[in-house]
Structure 1
């Protein structure tokens, strides 16, 4: 058994769990809000002999530091895992999703900032959080800088990187934005983002054996069509929406070009009697598993609990196991001193863009006018863009203003994100939406 232990929050059905296990980590605890996904974790963990507890419920329902654990109010206790080797999680994506409203801190599901605060309490050797590409965009530049700054205050070096699943053996276009933080400088100097191991082929190659399992006569022709590309991003969706399908209109068009009917999930592959001409097959659960990285390989064998729609959501919302394995292996090598030794500045990701007005506000020692802030930001921002930038900042930060016209001043107030406050609006909003959160 590995000596490296991990606590995983927002664990889902186990994509990240399996990847981290294959990378050399053993789970001490996994926390997940969806009971069916948690049962999937339990079932597979038991089959693989994992020494893991699975806690079910709101991951943020924890006792205050030093408070006694209460089974009626709390789901788990971070104090039981202080000094763990790795704290990992796939915190909810909707607050940052391009397909959504990108509400950030205003979304009751936003747990990214809370997870960062958890680092200060648990003091793990390493942190790994994954999310959607939307978090890497300019809209969240100040949010990202807050995360970096807060981790630095906790004593952690950190870096972001946008990784594409197809670059790590997954037959799908699935960009994921990854945050890695390390407590000790010696560990950080041994961390390197994983080398690419691209998937070679197309959807047809990856699913051909499953598509022809019943000797469907159209399998060969379908394979040729489906090999025009790899899969679009699989969208698991949530309990707020209906049954399983393969994404919004644009994604459905992309699936159609690959010879796939994206209007649902089939119970079985096509049978011999299915008319070959003009038949566009739907994917099965087993096919979606392969496209999401549960490859046709003994290492990635995984069984899902629940009915078809639940299984599809569990798969579609997962972190592809091969990607989690690749990043996990890089963290393992850092913690064991096996990674290539380097200067820390070498790993600063290109996607880490600063929001200059946020930086100017943060460094100011009092209220400043727009002209003063633009000058402090290097003068590259046009005055006509200033208010728009401030408006975006005000979504995630309290911006205090005073005065009118050119004399109007601005000052950076509190971060609006949920970091564990008892009086935060997240609690009421979460309680109201509890049955629709997955």
Structure 2
């Protein structure tokens, strides 16, 4: 069946929305507070209805198109870990999770999809949110699934685990089943970026790609309030170094023909990943344009849900909703 609709909040660069579109969903409204993110969405999908607004201030009664939808989706900013418990913005991240659940009360979608850190699905530190969501959504008649997916299982050249909440209205759904992996062998960084690395005539591109023979560590977008663009924490930087990549910064362009790649020399002898290449590691299409300056662009890419993951989740939700519609139609 077709004709499934969704509202997407905290849309960012549009990875989740793009995946849902591929799964057959049509967006009614996409919401994000960031100017660059909204420009990214409008540039790539001019027909999408993009609203620049803070989720905490969003009033759906002023946007009737947000009602009567099949799905409310949210790829929210990552909630705090134990290492970041005193951060000023950590409570904002929690409030966005809560606001998404309260938005379900207002618009009553037939299904809800929230994506965040893997611990959201099972870790003790996130139990208060799970209990809150369970109490609120069970009261409204939704059935729950909490689970973890890894983007590498869906053809994304990156080990990126995500905690997922899917809730579907009891009286409308077939049993929801989390998506099964779509690939058997992980895609490597070298496979994903070999063509890009060679695009300016760098003769060592193939040799580099052969060394970059594993998926990328999780890309981390960072916060607006702290630091510049890099490829992640210390452990991730070490992993990148084994692939001959300097992960302490993000490059401006791919290597030129005269670049001497020699990781034994340290960072000066390593390649740098560009924002466009980071987007390829998130499995955005090459044509997807990211708006803004370099750090803002990388932040959007690093925070995104890889589109193949969004597609797999969307297909799983659609199967539950379409199964219910088929049963209803047959009856």
Residue 52 of structure 2: aligned partner: 56
Contact 1:10/1:91 (8 A) holds in 2: yes
Shift of the alpha carbon at 1:277?
3.4
1:96 aligns with 2:80: yes
Question: Separation in 2 of the partners of 1:55 and 1:146?
Answer: 28
1:141 aligns with 2:127: yes
Question: Separation in 1 of the partners of 2:326 and 2:193?
Answer: 37
Contact 1:157/1:185 (8 A) holds in 2: no
Question: Separation in 2 of the partners of 1:166 and 1:108?
Answer: 29
Please list, as runs of the form range in 1=range in 2, the aligned pairs for 1:4-83 lying within 5 A after superposition. Answer: 4-46=4-46, 50=47, 52-63=48-59, 69=62, 77=63, 80-83=65-68
Shift of the alpha carbon at 1:152?
0.6
Supply the RMSD in Å over aligned alpha carbons.
2.5
Residue 278 of structure 2: aligned partner: 288
Distance 1:270 1:152, change over 3 A: same
Q: Give the unaligned 5+ runs of structure 2.
A: 264-268
Shift of the alpha carbon at 1:221?
2.2
Question: Separation in 1 of the partners of 2:16 and 2:101?
Answer: 18
Distance 1:292 1:98, change over 3 A: farther
State which of 212, 222, 228 in structure 2 corresponds to 1:226: 212
Q: TM-score, normalised by structure 2?
A: 0.89
Contact 2:186/2:215 (8 A) holds in 1: no
Distance 1:99 1:224, change over 3 A: farther
Question: Separation in 2 of the partners of 1:239 and 1:186?
Answer: 40
Residue 351 of structure 1: aligned partner: none
Aligned residues: 319
Residue 266 of structure 2: aligned partner: none
Question: Separation in 2 of the partners of 1:105 and 1:153?
Answer: 30
The DSSP-based 3-state class of the residue aligned with 1:240 is: coil
Question: Separation in 2 of the partners of 1:10 and 1:130?
Answer: 11
Distance 1:120 1:201, change over 3 A: closer
Distance 1:30 1:240, change over 3 A: same
The DSSP-based 3-state class of the residue aligned with 1:107 is: helix
Q: Give the unaligned 5+ runs of structure 1.
A: 70-76, 342-438
Distance 1:121 1:232, change over 3 A: same
Residue 250 of structure 2: aligned partner: 265
Larger radius of gyration: 1
Question: Separation in 1 of the partners of 2:86 and 2:120?
Answer: 9
Residue 161 of structure 1: aligned partner: 147
Contact 1:96/1:135 (8 A) holds in 2: no
Residue 424 of structure 1: aligned partner: none
CA deviations 1:313-350 (Å, max 9, x no partner) are 11111011100000001111211118999xxxxxxxxx
Shift of the alpha carbon at 1:9?
0.8
Residue 431 of structure 1: aligned partner: none
State which of 108, 125, 128 in structure 1 corresponds to 2:110: 125
CA deviations 1:208-261 (Å, max 9, x no partner) are 11112222222222122211x210010111211222111122211111011110
Residue 366 of structure 1: aligned partner: none
Question: Separation in 2 of the partners of 1:247 and 1:235?
Answer: 5
Residue 161 of structure 2: aligned partner: 175
Shift of the alpha carbon at 1:108?
2.2
Q: TM-score, normalised by structure 1?
A: 0.68
Shift of the alpha carbon at 1:102?
8.1
Contact 1:86/1:128 (8 A) holds in 2: yes
Question: Separation in 2 of the partners of 1:103 and 1:247?
Answer: 18
CA deviations 1:10-37 (Å, max 9, x no partner) are 1111001100110101111111010110
Shift of the alpha carbon at 1:134?
3.0
Distance 1:103 1:333, change over 3 A: farther
